[in-house]
Structure 1
Amino acid sequence: MTAIILKLDTVNLSHEQFYRLCQVNPDWQLERNAQGELIVMPPVGGVSGNREADFIIDLGIWNRQTGLGKVFSSSTIFRLPNGGDRSPDAAWVSLARWEALSREEQEKFPPICPDFVIELRSRTDSLTEIQAKMQEYLNSGLQLGWLINPQQQQVEIYRLNQPVEIIELPANLSGEDVLPCFNLSLDCFE
């Protein structure tokens, strides 16, 4: 199953209406891109779900040791400055930026772009659509992002104001200045 995209260009859902739509449809994983299209995301299978969990665990352990920010799962929708409402597979926001949000902003869909995201391409994901999603994050202020693409045995590294870097798997990824001393070792994927 692939994502279903509903064109809502004449509907113009407000942020509050999109939030309520998600709340009354908890069984659906919904996103909205910067063009206002509603995206119904399919569930992932066991292999992708397990990999996603491993990435969140590694990021979470690093964050607990450093205390530099907050880690988020794919269930979190971020209200991006460019108008999209997106849910990365794993995300991190620096503590100072997170604490600058009000309690209500933290409890709903946070109106902030993560500093760091991981997107794991599952078997059913369109590469062009997930690359467009990564570009949306960059356009909203993302500092560092990794698009892990097991199908092509590579990782695309997204950095603010820099061209995308593509490296082959296996790889050892660095959190650079965004996530100091964070490293993620990726073996070849089957």
Structure 2
Amino acid sequence: MSDDEFFDFCQLNADLRIERTAQHEILIMSPTGSRSGKRNARLTGQLYSWFAQHEHLGEVFDSNTGFTLPDGSVLSPDASWVSAAKWNALTPAQQDKFAPVCPEFVVELKSATDSLKTLQAKMLDYLRNGVQLAWLLNPETETAYLYRPGQSEPETVQGFDNELAGEPVLPGFRLRLSELR
């Protein structure tokens, strides 16, 4: 499918969560369970609260947002942020579809049905496409994996009594992991 055909396909199947790999394989994911949805709302809410104080820096997106990354994949992180410079460089038509931009910040929140290995590979895909900070959060084990360009392995934070800091990408942002229990 072309980019436009893929976008139309997704619109016709709005009740499904659909992504596309760099090889143009279509991935269809079921909706998350209620506990995952609750956790994702709390995650996005914290990010939005930070954004409300820093609107001039960029835009925040929820899990329904697809981005066309430089490698041709279309991914929908659970939460993400794009700088104002990147967002404002897009035309309104580009903003209305799966924007051809790689967020600087993404978060993936593992649900009970997700494969940790698949999500870890996805985080590396994000980095290869230009993400500057990526967090993979696993509520089951209360483990956070922090990915940054140039690191051979992600930093691991154990325990959801901790907070994660968004510096330097998101100045002043702190994610309270305890809210994701």
TM-score range, shorter chain: over 0.9
- Return 16-25 or 112-121, whichever deviates more: 16-25
CA distance 1:26–1:189, change in 2 (3 Å): closer
Q: Does 1:158 align with 2:143?
A: no
Letter in 2 for 1:41: M
Structure 2: distance between partners of 1:181 and 1:156: 19
Q: Does 1:60 align with 2:48?
A: yes
- Residues 113-135 of structure 1 deviation map (CA, whole Å, 9 limit, x = unaligned): 11101100000001111111111
1:98 equivalent in structure 2 = 87
Q: Give the SS at the match of 1:187.
A: helix
Q: Give 1:47's match in structure 2, choosing from 22, 35, 39.
A: 35
Contact between 1:153 and 1:188, CA under 8 Å: does it hold in 2?
no
Q: Give 1:168's match in structure 2, choosing from 130, 137, 158.
A: 158
Contact between 2:39 and 2:180, CA under 8 Å: does it hold in 1?
no
- Percent identity between the two aligned chains: 47
Letter in 1 for 2:172: C
Shift of 1:54: 0.8
Letter in 1 for 2:168: D
CA RMSD of aligned residues (A): 1.3
2:76 equivalent in structure 1 = 87
Displacement over 6 Å in runs of 4+: none
Contact between 2:70 and 2:100, CA under 8 Å: does it hold in 1?
yes
Aligned length: 178
Using the size of structure 2 for normalisation, the TM-score is 0.94
Structure 1: distance between partners of 2:102 and 2:123: 11
- Residues 129-154 of structure 1 deviation map (CA, whole Å, 9 limit, x = unaligned): 11111111111000001100122221
Q: Which runs of 5+ in 1 are unaligned?
A: 1-12
1:186 equivalent in structure 2 = 177
Contact between 1:70 and 1:95, CA under 8 Å: does it hold in 2?
yes
Contact between 1:176 and 1:182, CA under 8 Å: does it hold in 2?
yes
Structure 2: distance between partners of 1:127 and 1:34: 20
Contact between 1:89 and 1:119, CA under 8 Å: does it hold in 2?
yes
Using the size of structure 1 for normalisation, the TM-score is 0.90
Q: Does 1:140 align with 2:129?
A: yes
CA distance 1:180–1:41, change in 2 (3 Å): same
